[in-house]
Amino acid sequence: MITIVPVYPQLLSIYADRGNVIVLEQRARWREIDVAVHPIAVGDDLDAANADIILIGGGQDRDQALVADELRRQTPALRSAIADGAALLAVCGGFQLLGHRYRGHQGDEMIGTGLVDLETEAGDGRLIGNVLVEATVNGMRHDLVGFENHAGRTTLGSNVAPLGRVIAGGGNNGLDGLEGCLDGRVVGTYIHGPLLPKNPWLADQLLAWALDRHGVTTSLEPLDDRLAHLAAARAADLARR
């Protein structure tokens, strides 16, 4: 049984992050893999032993501020789950909350979880548009496509790998050519819209990590992803333009 845990989906799902849950759930069921979805609300406690794929979505600045304290309270459980082999996908605002802090224009700070060595500052404008990234996960290169819309400028610590390198788009900060982060099985990214429908290879990687946590190491059965590949190719073409 794979358990998918969306964190505070009522507040952190501004960019259709529910779509990521649906993709993971359906791709597991198509392969006859038992799967359950157990969202946690503000005030709930994360059960580290029963959280195989943890999803932290994006929210408005107000909503991120509302959940920041709660998410920090969950940090010990999150660390425990990650250390035990769970996968974590954090998108946009969730990506920012993986780090130490978000510093606003007025010097105000929103303290993050510190799960990943990264920091974010508010930029002068927003990075908006289609994105194409060359991602490398488990030694394999993939195109990663989607849409970004963020004012934050994120900088990774010196020992943190990016999820990929930007071919088109802004990425983490519009300057260093990097997008997202990849720290073990922790994936952070600014790409949303949602992310996984256009990037089924990444959904399958998360599922493979979840199965591995339960001692299942066989390759996932291929699925008919022709429509997803067409959508990804169209998105890549838009980004290149």
Residues labelled catalytic: 92, 192
- The span from the CA of 24 to the CA of 35, in Å, is 9
Q: How far apart are CA 161 and CA 90, in angstroms?
A: 15
Q: What CA dihedral angle connects 36, 18, 146 and 34, to 10 degrees? A: 10
Euclidean distance between CA atoms 142 and 69, whole angstroms:
35
Reported in sequence order, the residue ranges of the chain that DSSP labels E, i.e. its strands, are 2-7, 35-37, 53-56, 87-91, 101-103, 109-111, 118-137, 140-156, 164-168, 178-179, 181-183, 186-189
Contact 95, 154 (CB under 8 A): yes
Sign (positive/negative) of CA torsion 156, 152, 7, 202? negative
